[in-house]
Amino acid sequence: MMATPFMRTAFPILFNLAVCFTTFGAASSAPNIESGWVALSRMDSIQAKSDFSAVTATRESRLGHALTLLGDADKTAANLENCRRELIELRDEDPNDDYGIAATYYLARIAQHYDKEPNVAAIISTYRDLLANHPGHPVAELAAPKLAMLLLYADVSSNEQDARFDEIESLLPSLTHPHNQRDTRLVLADALLRLRRNHARAYPLINHCLEQNLILRSTRLNQYLLQAAEAARKLGLRSEAIRHCERYIETFPHDDKTDEVGRRLQRLKGEDDHA
C-alpha cells in the first residue's frame, strides 16, 4: 500500500506527539511510582494503592499494586486472590526480568504463608530455582535464608538433615548481599546449635557476622555476642571468648546480663593467666 502525502506528513507528527506524551507520561509517573513504594514501605496501603493506580500500568506499577494487595491480604480473601493473579501474570509474561523474578519469589512466599496446606516441596523447589537461575539478584537472593529455615526445621532423618546442612553451607559463597549472607549464616548456625549442639560448625558462622559488623539490631547482637562467647569458651578458644565478652560489655553497658558477663570475663582471664 502506498502512503499518501497526508500520511507521510501526519505520521511523523503523530509519532513525535506520541513520543512526547510517552516521555511526559513516564516523567510524571516516575515520582508516583516512587511515592507508591515509599507509602508501601511505610505500610500505608491506602496511599500506595492510590499512587500505583494513578500511573500508567507498567510492570513495575503492577508489581507495586500486587504487593499493596498483599499488604491487605489478611483483611479480605479477594485481595489475596487479586494479588496472586497479578503476580502470576507478571511471572508468565517474563519470568526473567526484575518483576518476573520478584513475582516468582512472592508467589512462593504467598504459598508458604497463606495456603492452608502449603506444598513445601514446591516452595523449596522455587527457592532453589531462584537461587540457581538468578545469582546475585536482590530479590532472588532473599530465598536463601527462607530455603534454609524450610529445609532445616523439618522433621527428617539425621542423614537427610546432614545433607541439608551441607546444601545451605554450600550456598554461602554465592550470596552477594550482606544481609542475605548474614541471615543465611545465622539461620544455619542457630539450627546447628539448636538441633545438634554443634558449636564447632556454628561458631565460625556467627563469628563471621560479628567480625563483619553485619548484625545491626541490638537485641540480635546481644544474643549472638553471648552465643559466640559461650561457643568459643566451649571450643577452648579463650582469647576469642574474652574478645566477645569485652565487646558485649562495651556495647551493652546497662544490660541486666552485663554484670554476670563481667564475672565470666574475669574467670576467662584468670584461666588464661593460669594456662
Partner 1 sequence: MPRVSLRLVTTVSLVAIGFCISIWRVALPWWDEKSNGKITLRFCHWQLEPGVRRALDALSRDYEALHPNVRVKQIAIPGRIYRQWGSTQLVGGQPPDLMQIGLGLSRGLFFDDFEPITIHVSAPNPYNAGGPLEGVPWRKTFRDGMRGAFDAKTMECFGASLCNNTVRIFCNRELLIKVTGSDKFPTTFAEMRQLNEQLQVYNQEQGTALSLIAGSRFSALIFFRNLAGTQTQKLATRLNPLIDFPIKDKDFNLAYLEGAWDFDDPAIQQGAHLTSEAAQMMSPGFAQAEGDQAHLRFAQGQALLMVLSSLQATGIIEGSPFEVTIHRIPQPKLSDPDYGPQMHGPIAEAALRTYGAFGISRSSRHPELALDFLRFITSQESCRKFSRLSRNLPTVIGIEPAEEMRPFLPNMQGYPSGPDLKTSSEVIALVEQTRHLLAPPISSPEQYLATLKVGIRDAMHTDISRIIRGNFFSVRLVEPSIGANIQLANTQPDNDELISKISIQLGAQTDIEATAYYTQMRLRKVDRTSRSQ
- Distance set, CA 184 to CA 146, 168, 178, 255 (Å): 8, 8, 10, 28
Site track for partner 1 across 182-211, x = CB under 8 A: xx--xx--xx-xx--x--------------
How is residue 147 written as a grid cell? 530455603
Query: How far apart (Å, rounded) are the C-alpha atoms in residues 71 and 94?
Result: 24
Candidates 9, 22, 96, 218; binder of partner 1 (CB under 8 A) is 218
Q: Does 258 participate in binding partner 1 (rule CB under 8 A)?
A: yes
Q: Does 271 participate in binding partner 1 (rule CB under 8 A)?
A: no
Q: What is the DSSP letter of 173?
A: G
Candidates 84, 109, 164, 244; binder of partner 1 (CB under 8 A) is 109
Stretch that binds partner 1, among 17-25, 162-170, 215-223, 236-244 (CB under 8 A): 215-223
In contact, 87 and 124? CB cutoff 8 Å: no
Candidates 3, 14, 26, 216; binder of partner 1 (CB under 8 A) is 216
Residue 86: what residue type? Answer: E
Q: Does 32 participate in binding partner 1 (rule CB under 8 A)?
A: no
Secondary structure (H, E, C), 37-61: HHHHHCCCHHHHHHHHHHCCCCHHH
Give backbone dihedrals phi and psi of 177, rounded to 5 degrees, phi first. Answer: -90, 130
Q: What are the residues binding partner 1 (CB under 8 A)?
A: 34, 37-38, 40-45, 48, 60, 63-64, 67-68, 70-71, 73-74, 98, 102, 106, 109, 113-114, 138-139, 142, 145-146, 148-150, 153-155, 178-180, 182-183, 186-187, 190-191, 193-194, 197, 214-218, 220, 223, 226-227, 230-231, 254-260
